[in-house]
Amino acid sequence: AQSVSQHNHHVILSEAASLELGCNYSYGGTVNLFWYVQYPGQHLQLLLKYFSGDPLVKGIKGFEAEFIKSKFSFNLRKPSVQWSDTAEYFCAVDINQGGKLIFGQGTELSVKP
Amino acid sequence: NAGVTQTPKFQVLKTGQSMTLQCAQDMNHEYMSWYRQDPGMGLRLIHYSVGAGITDQGEVPNGYNVSRSTTEDFPLRLLSAAPSQTSVYFCASSRTSGLSTQYFGPGTRLTVL
């Protein structure tokens, strides 16, 4: 069965530190890729997405992600985190563009001021 | 636009009770879906619909029913609640099933005693 794996369950950083969250998926065909963020007590919001084209995609709030097809990866990055980035981050994959998202387990990010 | 709305926000049920979680969207989206979110497991797809009158099962459909009589509404019914259905439920919608971003509602936190 297809799956999505996020390597880090809980990441703790100080403000201004750089962030990279890993995401790998197990499927060899066409995929659409997403990163969603869930701030405490809120619903999921889209950070960025990849459908096709440039594998380096930029999202909101300074986040970016790189799709590396050969590694089945879609890692999320931010050069300098802020306290307000404290949230849970979910990687999601849409296999065969059918709309059925498969989510990773989530990574909880805590940023210390 | 209100986007995706869900009611109620919180619900406590006793084992064996039934209830319906409501979901509505005002964006004229064809595709709607229900996910449940459990700690350490990300979000898992329960049921989805590609248009009015068409529904299908996702990854974890047991114990849940859905119907889609209108484009706007996609209710989720729990037939006989069990403690294993204690979770946070999110409804999502997108313009189409593929190459579209899914927008999530605020969620319903359900506790089954």
At residue B21 the predicted structure's pLDDT band, cuts being 50, 70 and 90, is very high
- Among candidates A9, A45, A98 on the partner chain, residue whose Cβ is nearest the Cβ of B98: A98
Interface of B with A (CB under 8 A): 31, 33, 35, 40-45, 48, 50, 58-59, 90, 94, 96-107
How far does the CA of residue B74 sit from the closest CA of chain A (Å)?
16
At residue A95 the predicted structure's pLDDT band, cuts being 50, 70 and 90, is confident
- Among candidates A90, A97, A100 on the partner chain, residue whose Cβ is nearest the Cβ of B45: A100
* Pairing status of strand B19-25 against strand B76-78: antiparallel
Q: Residue B98 above 80 pLDDT?
A: no
Tens of pLDDT, residues B22-40: 999 999 999 999 999 998 8
Which of A43, A57, A95, A107 to mutate: most B Cβ within 10 Å? Answer: A43
Least confidently predicted of A38-47, A54-63, B3-12, B80-89: A38-47
- Is residue A113 exposed (0-12), middle (13-18) or buried (19+ Cβ within 10 Å)? exposed
Interchain CB distance below 8 Å, A45 and B104: yes
- Among candidates B43, B94, B103 on the partner chain, residue whose Cβ is nearest the Cβ of A99: B94
Interchain CB distance below 8 Å, A43 and B107: yes
- Among candidates A101, A102, A104 on the partner chain, residue whose Cβ is nearest the Cβ of B102: A101
At residue A100 the predicted structure's pLDDT band, cuts being 50, 70 and 90, is confident
What six digits make up the tokens of B2? 């209100």
Cα→Cα distances B2→A74, B22, B107, Å: 31, 15, 14
Give dist(CA B56, CA A42) in Å, integer: 27
The residue count of chain B comes to: 113
Interchain CB distance below 8 Å, A106 and B40: yes
Q: Report CA dihedral (B36, A36, A38, A19) to the nearest 10 degrees.
A: 130
Residue A28, φ and ψ in degrees, nearest 5: -95, 0
How far does the CA of residue B87 sit from the closest CA of chain A (Å)?
14
Which residue reads 């979901």 in tokens?
B23
Residue of B nearest to A10 (CA): B40
Q: Residue B1 above 80 pLDDT?
A: no
Tens of pLDDT, residues A30-39: 889 999 999 9
